[in-house]
Structure 1
């Protein structure tokens, strides 16, 4: 009964999903009984095949043309095409045609339909989100291009303030004038007069700022050298001199660093932040007790090791004594005797000697 109730609930869920997605093949059915819905979705029929065709075409619109070329009598070709699409979506096996025809167990068919409908729902949500983003972008562009912000945009495109120092501005002016002369652009007399006045004003500050410029260049060069040591990915100069900073390489490095910082910030806020804000653990004041216990256990282990070695030595000594008592060896007169036998013989000879002299 539990299996039947699960199949019925799942069939109603799939049927409601088809209605919410606007499937035209379930519009005029008005099915209310779970058994009827399950029979529609899990029994082999042309209507069920058309529903599968609509689902697959909704996911991949290019399948509509392919389905239109398949004739109604070529049912096997249609089943093979649907099976191939399900296999490409990793929802069924490559030869799982019973699932497409409606001959598989109902619960398996309903799981398959539910999973493939989730793909359509995910695509629809993504399209709606992208549509909202495009609307927001259009609103932002409209706001930026409004009359209230045109003056700000003009100031950004044509800034009045020149950020360069005086000696660099003089160099830029000379470069620009030389470039204009090579292009055949002749300046007006008024412009020449203004520029000469400007150059005379800047010349008085040239000597004062020369020392500052040299110090700035040296500090900049040292900073660039330190950056180059850290950026190992930058190519070295072919002649072996100082490395040349590549703008493309710097752009790639900055982009990678920005992505890494964004990813780290997201992970920190979602996973690590709760742990990083915890108070540090308090050290136990009874650490000396554990140290003394460790020393006592180490001494106990040393004594046990010594007792083990003593036991092994005693066993080895006992085995040696037993071998001396049981093994036969050559003694006098070229005869082999054990040590107890030899001792017994010496004892008898000693007793005979004493009895002979005492008598």
Structure 2
């Protein structure tokens, strides 16, 4: 791993081995009860080196997570197939989203100690969660037993006990205390009414100020999209992808055990989208201006057709009337020529 020395990796492996070994003891794994390991190197050797004991420990962990583990794949005269068990472990890890189905190095003990310890730590976390769920189910069973129909009368008596009547002197003291508390209650009610009136006045003043602030309206708060904002967002996205690829290659690749996700380094896609959006924005502006110009032309034509502008016989006539007059004169002229 780039930037991390071998010494730091060994220290991390020792810490993880101690944590995993303690977790195995915490979940009462019978395979480590009589080992009494104290040295971190011995724990790393036990948990990360291929051995029958390591395989049994991993099988025990998987059986606590999945009760029907391992599957009954047998070889003639040899019992359970070790290779098949390793594949089942990898499949269980894939179901838990801890590894891939073909990551057999993790189950066989051939991966790096750090990867194996992280895998074991995550499996033991799942085991602890399963045990907590089982304890919760046991508690639910106890609650169900407590609230059986035969126990309801006793529970009713516990929640609604019958107390003896208070003596007369105690009752007198309680009445005096209630009478002394009444003025205090009156003062509290008056104070609450005063606070409520102040709050109402404050709310009215805030509403008045808000009505005078135009920039607080929803229209003013709406974000305005501009092409430059798209350009900035595209540049930020490209930088984030490049940074993630660099961090993955330098720090995360060895831990994840897989190749970095492929990000396209082509920026022309964002440039093309930005150019298309600019062209679309320009076309929309042109359409808007064309619509406004068409409306103006329509209005001018309407005025030419309806507004008197042409003189005849001492009076002004509209264009349509003048055209009708010309049409009539031409028709009369044609009739005279034909006759």
Higher relative contact order (CA 8 A, sep 6+): 2
| Bigger Rg, which one | 1
Same fold (TM over 0.5): no
TM-score, normalized by length of structure 1?
A: 0.40
